[in-house]
Amino acid sequence: MTVQPADSILIVDFGSQVTQLIARRVREAGVYSEIAPFSHAAEAFERLRPKGIILSGGPSSVMWDDSPRAPQHFFDAGLPILAICYGQQTMAHQLGGRVAPSDNREFGRAFIEITGESMLFDGLWKQGEVHQVWMSHGDRVEALPEGFSVVAASEGAPYAIATDEKRRFFSLMFHPEVVHTPDGGKLLANFVRHVCGLPGDWTMAEYRQTKIADIRAQVGDGRVICGLSGGVDSAVAAVLIHEAIGSQLTCVFVDHGLMRANEAEQVVSLFRNSYNIPLVHVEAEQLFLSGLKGVDDPEAKRKFIGKTFIDVFEAEAQKIGGADFLAQGTLYPDVIESVSFTGGPSVTIKSHHNVGGLPERMNMQLVEPLRELFKDEVRALGRELGLPEAFVARHPFPGPGLAIRIPGEVTREKCDILRRADTIYLEEIRNAGLYDAIWQAFAVLLPVRTVGVMGDHRTYDHVCALRAVTSTDGMTADIYPFDAAFLSRVATRIVNEVRGINRVVYDYTSKPPGTIEWE
């Protein structure tokens, strides 16, 4: 049975693509939070016994017959409630107000004028001030429920902030969780700490001790096997589980030959030499590369890599005598994506392959000690556990690895060319002191060859694309604005030092909410 923090916030998810950001902002304020889809909110309420509730935004209209609702008893529980966008509309509707299509829809940057006072923004905003927010609504509240008052308005939302201070109900038409609302994080912190009265003392040290107790209670005398992918998530999970149960854990590292330069050696050294964790190193490069021969379709590559990974992993598990539990580095975004609006827990092996499922014949229970954490929180836990900074802070790298950064057929020659280019790129980023300012940077070997002149010779070689993005949440991304001198330096080194590449381009594409990998 998982031990829950005494103080927590329940976030009811109505389907907004940025609901995860609410949880992040609440945790940044030092308060534990969990997201539950509206269909499972009542059960989550009983389990968590939260000190406050946040209703998220969503794509529905409360005027639809089948649109989602908050459990009605939430409004009678005596708890503070913060309702955002669709959350505001369903709260108004459920409490007797009126919602209608807006004649002046707002999508994007907007400005609200503070027209009253509220404990929600006490010490943050004052009456008469104008503040930037981020709107995304086609409907709006046209009549407030009894007891509510308007304390802020915008051009398209006369009830931009409406509150019932007596019942501690607060509703916002805008999204405080996104970075485009500059004071949004402070507003959410005000709600959980000032309104809900929570101390904001939730830390990774507390999480570490709680999880160690959970792992020991779940595993008992059983044996655990953990699949290492070379990434931060599985490494942190393995070190945490080892701290809890010691030699009952065995790690299996399937080296598929699609990793960055020297990455396999770093993983083996870290676990065998620094942590003395039992590790099985499976060198399976030839198996994977031979299976990828002639495969062009990216989804076919993913599926082959995922299935082969599971097959190799299962064979190694049988060699060591089997195990009772399978450990995975499942993160909170994975959990949310697998349960929102479906209610079904994920059984996918979390090796970043995003394919295949855990075969029933393996007959193992899952141990997922990171399932309540976001990526940045996993990094914080890794530091708490003493993992080297160079390992904890490394950029995300998907399980299919170089296979999805080589569009078209994957060969050993192409992998070697790409590894050399990628190494130079990351080396120059580190030399410039930019590595920690970038969420993810990598090279891609394009399925394009161009004619070039190098010295007195014509060449016909590959084009290499470089990508670097910044992100505060891992859901949206923007390009990193390298200066021309940096890009020129990197391109010159790659063309001069990597045989097989004669042209380098930079990808200036930003990404909307969703994956920021090269797909």
| Residue whose structure tokens are 């594409």 | 509
pLDDT attached to residue 357 = 47
Give catalytic status of residue 85 as yes or no.
Answer: yes
Contact between 164 and 148 (Cβ < 8 Å): yes
Given CA atoms 123, 128, 129, 134 in this order, what sign does their dihedral have?
A: positive
pLDDT attached to residue 351 = 41
In the chain, the amino acid numbered 357 is G
Which domains, and CATH codes, for the chain? 8-195 (3.40.50.880), 204-392 (3.40.50.620), 411-506 (3.30.300.10)
Alpha helices in 258-351 (DSSP H): 263-269, 285-292, 298-319, 332-339
Its pTM stands at 0.76
- Beta strand pairing call for 325-327 and 365-367: parallel
The residue annotated as part of the active site, out of 93, 175, 352, 462, is 175
Residues constituting the chain = 519
pLDDT attached to residue 104 = 66
The residue annotated as part of the active site, out of 34, 106, 177, 377, is 177
The residue annotated as part of the active site, out of 34, 85, 251, 353, is 85
Sheet of strand 130-143: strand arrangement = 32-37, 8-13, 52-55, 81-84, 169-172, 161-164, 149-153, 98-114, 130-143
What is the SS3 assignment for 157-222? Answer: CCCCEEEECCCCEEEECECCCCCCCCCHHHHHHHHHHHHCCCCCCCCHHHHHHHHHHHHHHHHCCC
- Beta strand pairing call for 161-164 and 149-153: antiparallel
Distance CA 65, CA 88 (A): 17
Give catalytic status of residue 137 as yes or no.
Answer: no
Give the largest CA-CA distance in the chain: 83
- Beta strand pairing call for 440-454 and 279-283: unpaired
Give the residue from 493, 469, 492 showing the smallest Cα distance to 482: 469
Give catalytic status of residue 226 as yes or no.
Answer: no
pLDDT attached to residue 340 = 45
pLDDT attached to residue 376 = 83
Q: Which residues pair with 479 in a beta bridge?
A: 469
pLDDT attached to residue 42 = 95
List average pLDDT for each run of 10 residues in the chain, which is 519 residues long.
Answer: 72 88 90 91 94 93 89 96 94 91 73 95 93 82 92 88 96 90 94 95 88 95 89 92 95 92 89 86 95 93 89 87 88 63 41 45 83 86 92 83 92 96 98 94 93 76 93 72 96 95 87 44
Helix (H, G, I), strand (E, B) or coil at 7: coil
CA 461 to chain centre: 37
H or E stretch covering 130: strand 130-143
Residues 6+ apart with CB under 8 A from 142: 97, 98, 99, 100
List Cα–Cα distances, 89 to 12, 62, 92, 301, in angstroms: 14, 7, 5, 44
pLDDT attached to residue 170 = 97
DSSP code, position 265: H
Residues 6+ apart with CB under 8 A from 472: 179
Contact between 394 and 474 (Cβ < 8 Å): no
